[in-house]
């Protein structure tokens, strides 16, 4: 499976609470249907993609047609025709974090991106927003996220 397909799968699984629902059913506590694990739908959500290289573009293409608003952040804007083809609008990193329901990291790991997601950046995220990190782990300061910093 390509990384961009895995990213879409991880996103759907997380926002729709598939693992939690499966665990609940397997625990023996399931006593019939109830609207407990709806989670967030992609339609009408805002998906922010940080980094619009090959992976970011491939992820954006896969979310086209789902009824989501697509934002991206990177130092250089894409050509207008490419933005239009992807259905994505450029945003600053901090604006993307503040407005996105789902933030997908598609960054290479280097000196500029090491711990790009830290306590300060997590605090900018909307309450209940989801962070999907299919890129190198060190892009996120895991010492902060392991402390349970809410976003």
pLDDT reported for residue 113 = 67
Counting other chains too, the contacts that 35-44 makes at CB distance below 8 Å and 24 or more residues apart are 39/15, 40/15, 40/16, 40/101, 40/102, 40/128, 40/130, 41/15, 41/16, 42/11, 42/12, 42/15, 42/66, 42/67, 42/68, 42/102, 43/67, 43/68, 44/68
pLDDT reported for residue 93 = 95
Domains, the chain, with CATH or none: 41-145 (3.40.50.720)
pTM higher than 0.75, yes or no? yes
Mean pLDDT by 10 residues, the chain (151 residues): 78 81 81 74 92 93 93 96 96 96 86 78 91 80 61 39
């Amino acid at each position: 499976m390509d990384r961009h397909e895995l990213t879409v799968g991880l996103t759907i699984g997380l926002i729709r609470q598939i693992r939690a629902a499966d665990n609940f059913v397997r625990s023996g506590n399931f006593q019939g249907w109830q609207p407990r694990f709806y989670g967030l739908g992609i339609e009408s959500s805002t998906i922010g993609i940080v980094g619009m290289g090959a992976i970011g573009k491939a992820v954006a293409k896969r979310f086209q047609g789902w009824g989501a608003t697509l934002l991206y952040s990177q130092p250089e804007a894409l050509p207008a025709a490419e933005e239009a083809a992807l259905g994505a609008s450029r945003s600053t990193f901090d604006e993307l974090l503040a407005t996105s329901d789902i933030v997908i990291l598609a960054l290479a790991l280097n000196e500029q991106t090491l711990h790009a997601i830290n306590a300060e950046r997590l605090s900018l995220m909307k309450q209940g927003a989801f962070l999907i990190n299919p890129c190198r782990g060190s892009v996120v300061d895991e010492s902060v996220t392991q402390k349970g910093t809410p976003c």
